[in-house]
Structure 1
Amino acid sequence: LPDDSQGYTEWIAYGGTKNKVFDSPSFPKPPSQPLGGKPMHVVCEALETTFGVFVTHDIKIGELIFAERPFLVAPRALGFAPGSIVGDFNLDHINQVQWSDLEAKLAIAVERMPDNAREAFLQLRNSHKEDGAGAIGGIFLTNAFELGGLVDGPIGTKVTDRNGYAGIARAGSRINHSCMPNTTATFDVASFSLQFFAIKDLKAGDELFYGYCNIYAPYAERRESLGRYGIVCKCPACVNSTPTSESFRRTFIQRIKKIKQEVEEWQAETVKGFESAVATPTLEREAVLAKVLTLQKQLVEEGLDASDHYAVIFMVLYQLYVQLGKMRRADSAFQQIQRYNALARLDLE
């Protein structure tokens, strides 16, 4: 992609995929801007880490924090060359051939970058210094974001590790990990940019965090996964992990779905008529409301309010508040639903 005011990207692509993107009527459009059109983030030194990304304004759930074109985009399977290794080789030899192939291909792209972009790229973290991945390959593997929507094959092809792409963000690569993240990233093909959205309300000065691992996995699995990057997570979900909290993380989705089903059944009874409505007294509904609010508090404390399923809590609260005549609170819950809906986070079937 050309070097312009919107950013320069080196893209290693198969011809068919390049043509598919370049021939799109909407390509290339400028990356989206946050509300107000002014920068909402800054990269600077962070506590106990080299760099971090911080927001400079208050930002609501669902709002765009920033969008940027990556330094580099390449196939996820770039270093995989099936059929190219012939002979009696052990796994270590095969891995080394693949690492070398990855390094050589990426080096060509990095060499083509403008000087300032190449310098910034080479300053990114490399957690693969001991496994033979190479300097550039190690940076790529450490910092790559999976780019949903960019895939080899016809439109509608399901993305896999064999046909998908990964990108190295600019500021986005400086976002540190937490098992209680407050941002998510999506890739917009038309603007060829990574877009970072708030998944929690943010205050000016807050640091952005992204989940590098499966944040819903048990603590031991998260610790092992992050250990490959040399990361020791100190978020509350890790520091305060207990058998009780681990059990809650395993069952929270089922708990949300169960209480959603209960409220929907009561609502269905209510619309049948006044006599049916009496069958669910106000006191009983107040008890259910208290149960939902307790569950919501537990989800927030455990950092699970970053889950797609957390949006269901506001759907349930909205229904209960309407049934109880608490319209101001119902309106507040509805506004939260709209924010999650903007992130397309309510498709929970």
Structure 2
Amino acid sequence: MIRRNRVAALVGAALAILLVACTPEIPEVSPDPEETEAQPVLDVPRLERVLADIEEHINAADEDSDGEILAERMEDPALAVRTAEYRLRSATADSDDETGLQPLTTSSAVSIVAATEEWPRAVFVITEIPDEANSPLLIGLRQETPQEPYRMFSWVRLLPGVTTPQTDVAEVGSTPVDPADESFLTSPQQALENYADVLTEGEDSEFADDFAEEPFRELVEQEAQTLSENVDAAGEFAHATAVREDDTVAMLTADGGVVVIGAMRTRHTFTKTEDDGEVEVGGQLAALSENDGEVNESLRGTYHVMVALYVPTEQEDAQITVLGVERVLADVSEE
């Protein structure tokens, strides 16, 4: 018989501590950027107005967990992540494991503005450190058509100790990159696919050495080991991460590499294998569970994951850098 009511809660707390452990270095901008044919899609005053408008909508939506207000200036995957946070906040409101919203801000420290004449159009922003947080955010904005406003489509918290790449100044603009472009160490889309494999397989992944060491990957491996050990007497634990292919946006950096923002889905599956045993999960999984975390046959937790990578040009000993991550439990299903 086995009970591990606090496993998920402890792991979730560890993830939160990791992602706000220290302040990453803010990127520099290229001192002598070259002119590009296309012009930046937003000048600085307009970008400031867009960012202020998005933050105003987020603050209003957060106050009442209002998804309709949020959707006016946020789209998936960010919209799915924030509404999942609303559900968790409501589900844990009267418990010892109350879950708050991740601090968000659009106050800009560095802006990476696409230079293009095409739609959709994108802007990446490294923010100032939000209130009640210890790390800046990398947020992505997108305008789908000329008639629509810019919406936030992603945010990640920059990982501790990360050095973000040099970028061209917003007044000149940065070149958008096709996610399938293979002009780099690997294409932006393939980099995401390979990182998903690393998160699933750990050191057994054939791509493990292609990525620089970073704390999120280490914590995911520790999480999987802990959960496996804690259900071993009466059940099994499995996990897998896959990329959401339609949510990838990439832009060129000053050194010829590329910053790529993408989305993934992680699934944790707990399976009961001993009829006389008990398997019980706790924390957020239990809060969203119909049976308060008790596993009858199997229980699956689905997590939304947003990630930002830096993919360098192909060169000797080059590695992909994970810049930032955000993860939230979105759904629990049971059999």
Q: Which has the larger radius of gyration?
A: 1
Q: TM-score, normalised by structure 1?
A: 0.23
Choose between structure 1 and 2: higher strand proportion. 2
Choose between structure 1 and 2: higher helix proportion. 1
Question: Relative contact order (alpha carbons < 8 A, sep ≥ 6): 1 or 2 greater?
Answer: 2
